[in-house]
Structure formats: structure tokens, C-alpha cells
A = this chain, B = another copy of it.
């Protein structure tokens, strides 16, 4: 395993140390591994909390700041953070308007956020709502399983809800909005290579040189199926078709298309993939009005990509375009 680290057991703590120094606009509670907007709690604003395992950078801490999240709890690599962290963060970002937990749908994350909400309810008088994000169409029989995974759509949810929170909307309005953006979103991913979890020290799965994983998760969980390595113009429909089959995206005011790099994929290739994807959307009568291309939700050093599509309407478009100032997404300020 070749990585820029010292002891793998210290990776998350040491990385947070660097993040803290690099971003004076954030505040890091190293003991609890919570990263805050330096000015949290923001008076009158609902606090937005997310988080999850580490290894997805810039998610999650890269999306803290005006117009997006107020705090993030960092877990070990690919391991959900724990309820104590979440409860502590919840307390500290509550300005009295309540706190919204934006939870990526994984068994661990959901259970830990549940326990955190129970703790917060028992220990403080903070009102907490939780919205679970589950946009990954790779999981087919979601009814009798852990359900669909939360993947790229979270960026749209967190950005749009973040903008609405700055407007002073109420906790329940924001929870509804989060659910609406999540319902409007679908994602599908693929991997060319496995990632290597530092604590394990070797690739999570063996993928022969001539095969790729379709429907991969963001933690190196194997995908739905393996197919032979194919050119980009054949891979693109393997991602776009299941997304379009799952929801009608032809209405509304166009869509947000997010082509995500999983870590080791050159941006040069991601743009090429976006070209292939946009051509498929053209054919399907789906109109991309906003685009995001880059490594935003990574899986350590995995090579691959995912596509997330979010149906927009006038309101969502305005909220997407609203100013945001985080290290991962920034415009208008």
C-alpha cells in the first residue's frame, strides 16, 4: 500500500489537523472530530448537520460554510461517525431554530444518527429532524434490504437546503425541501479499480484488468455486476439508462447533472464522460441546465465515476444558484 500517511490508525485525526490549519473559516473539535463553520451557531438559522465515514473528501467537510452545512461529523475511513459526535454537534449548531440531520442512507449512518437524535432529545431541548438521502438506483430490491444508498444526490440536497436555510426557513420546511430534492434525484456509479482502505492495506476487491464494476458503492462495496472493460460511449448508457428508467426527468425546468469522480479518475476523462452522458440526455429529451463535473464524493483512490441527475424547478434552480462558500463548492461569494 502506497499512501501519504503515518500510522493508518492516525490518518483521520492527522488529516483533520491539516484541514484545520488550511481552513481558518472552519473550526475543528479534534477530540470529537466535528468540523464547524467558524461562526456556528448562526442566529435564527436552522443548523444543518451531515457527516459520515472519512475517505470521501471533499465530502463531507468540504461542504461546510455559508449556504451549505453548519457542521460535519467525521468517522473513521468508511465508517459512520458515532452518536456522541452527532449529539455534540447538534447541540452546538442549534441557534434555537432546530437542527436538520442530513443522513446518507447506510445502515450504520442511519442507526448512529438515530441514536444521536435520541441522545439529543434526552439531553437538550433541541428539535431535531432527520432526512435520509437514498438516490442510488444500483440497489434494485430496495424494499426488503437496507434500501438504496445515499450517494451523489447529497450534494444537491445539501446545497439547495443550505441556501434555503440561509433564507431563514423553518426546520420542517427544510426537511420537506430535503426530501423533495432527494426524491427528485437518482444516481448510478461504476468503478474501474478498487480502492485501498488504509487499515486493510490492500485493495478491497480484485478487479481483473479487463473488467469493471457497474453499480459500485462509494465505500468500495462491490457493485451489482461485473462487465468487460468497455469504451466510454458504452459505459455511459450503463449509468444513464438505469437512472432514466427509474424516474422521468423530461419535465420541469431541466436537470442538474453531476458527474462525480471517485478519486483517481483524471478530470480529463470525467469531462469526456460528461460529453457522452450529455449526448444520451439529449436523445432522451432530458435538458441539463446545470452541470457539476469533478471529484466531490470520492472513495479514496478508486478510479471510476458516477452520474447523479436531479430534476430542477424554478425554486430549486434559484436555490442551487444562490451563493455558497465552502471549500468544495463556491460561487457568488
Contact = CB atoms under 8 A, between A and B. Distances in A.
Contact of A267 (B12, B58, B274, B288): B58
Contact of A271 (B57, B212, B274, B293): B57
A11 interface: yes
Interface stretch (A102-110, A170-178, A241-249, A258-266): A258-266
Given A212-B2, A303-B2, A21 B291 contact: yes
Nearest to A19: B271
Nearest to A257: B22
- Copies of the protein in its oligomer: 2
A272 B18 contact: yes
Contact of A331 (B55, B231, B330): B330
Interface in A1-41: 2-7, 11-12, 14-19, 21-23
Contacts of A269: 3-5, 11, 15
Nearest to A16: B271
A333 B263 CA distance: 28
B325 A4 contact: no
Interface residues of A, number: 61
Contact of A5 (B231, B274, B298): B231
A168 interface: no
A272 B333 contact: no
Given A266-B57, A291-B21, A192 B4 contact: yes
Interface in A188-222: 192-193, 209, 212
A300 interface: yes
Interface string A89-106: 000000000000000000
Contact of A11 (B55, B272, B288, B295): B272
Interface in A93-147: none
A303 B300 CA distance: 11
A263 to B, nearest CB: 6
Given A2-B212, A6-B231, A325-B331, A266 B18 contact: no
A316 interface: no
B263 A264 contact: yes
Contacts of A252: none
Nearest to A54: B268
Contacts of A7: 231
Contacts of A55: 266, 268
A163 interface: no
Contact of A301 (B3, B54, B266, B276): B266
A180 interface: no
Given A3-B192, A19-B274, A267-B298, 11 more contacts: A2-B193, A6-B232, A11-B272, A12-B268, A14-B275, A15-B269, A18-B276, A19-B271, A22-B293, A265-B301, A268-B300
16 contacts: A4-B305, A5-B272, A6-B231, A6-B272, A11-B272, A16-B271, A18-B274, A18-B275, A18-B293, A21-B274, A22-B278, A22-B291, A22-B293, A54-B268, A57-B267, A267-B298
